[in-house]
Structure 1
Amino acid sequence: MPSEAPDPATRPPECGSSGSGLPTANPYAHSYLRDGFTVVEVLDEIDMATAGALAEHLDAATAGPRPHVLVDLRRVVFFDCSGLRVLCRADRRAKERDGTLRLVSDQPRIHRLLRASGLLRRFPPLPELPPPG
């Protein structure tokens, strides 16, 4: 069962393209800053038709030096190999810039997809976002 959406009053503000360097939210992803991390919250379905919307956020999140990115997949209802390709590319970009990319997922189907694709060791998911610190 997908996680319930966080209360908008407690969710950090989204970053827009004006001034923050992060893209404006779209129906499939939005980004915000939290404790030195860029959190990319992924929404709904990520497939061949929508992977570009996620890539836009991950490209921006991994563009600078030493990017630290958390990709929150807890609100995803469908995720296929198109999304995995985008994650692998973003992970490579982050590592090339001496940064990190971690997944957040409490969904067994995401864990099965990572295991079946051989990516579970590369992307061991955190069950939730780290507490603010």
Structure 2
Amino acid sequence: MDQTENAYQPKGLEVTSAVADDGVTVVSVSGEIDHNSAGPLVHALEPDSLGGRLRVVVDMRQVTFMDSTGINVLLSAHRDLDHAGGWLRLADVQTSVMRIIDIVGVHHIIPCHSSLEDALAA
């Protein structure tokens, strides 16, 4: 048997952005956020990539795993958007990922909402 058959292969990260009717950028993330996959999310959340739209909701309903890299990406984006006069909100975070957010205390810094609709309406 080839040893690579049993090797851990992380899921890639897919990131898409769209603009809601009220001008809020919705960044939808799917997969695992870790050291190897975070690049597309970092890029999507950079103020220069947002085309002047500095109000951002990250839809996390399809994020299956997040490590400290993901926490740092979100905190950095929050800081950068806040300094630029915008904001960052998280929406529909899965239970396993929310546990990490709660343990680290990110929910005290970045508002977390139960659904995308709630995050957009807040």
Fold similarity call, TM over 0.5 = yes
Asked if 1:47 is matched to 2:34, the reply is yes
Q: Residue 18 of structure 2 aligns to which amino acid in structure 1?
A: Y
Aligned residue in 2 for 1:126: 113
Figure out how many residues of one structure are paired with residues of the other and give that number.
106
C-alpha displacement of 1:28: 1.9
C-alpha displacement of 1:31: 0.5
Aligned residue in 2 for 1:10: none
In 2, Cα distance between the equivalents of 1:104 and 1:84? 15
Contact 2:92 2:113 in 1 (8 A): yes
Contact 1:28 1:46 in 2 (8 A): no
Secondary structure of the 1:39 match is strand
Q: Could you tell me which of 58, 72, 82 is aligned with 2:45? A: 58
Asked if 1:32 is matched to 2:18, the reply is yes
Asked if 1:91 is matched to 2:83, the reply is no
C-alpha displacement of 1:29: 0.6
Give TM-score scaled by structure 1 length: 0.72
Aligned residue in 2 for 1:13: none
Secondary structure of the 1:120 match is helix
C-alpha displacement of 1:99: 0.6
Tell me the C-alpha RMSD between the 2 structures. Answer: 2.1
Q: Residue 33 of structure 2 aligns to which amino acid in structure 1?
A: I
In 2, Cα distance between the equivalents of 1:106 and 1:84? 13
Bigger radius of gyration among the two: 2
In structure 1, stretches of 5+ residues that fail to align are: 1-25
Aligned residue in 2 for 1:116: 103
Give TM-score scaled by structure 2 length: 0.77
In 1, Cα distance between the equivalents of 2:110 and 2:15? 19
Secondary structure of the 2:19 match is strand
Report which of the two has the higher share of helix.
2
The sequence identity of aligned pairs, in percent, is 35
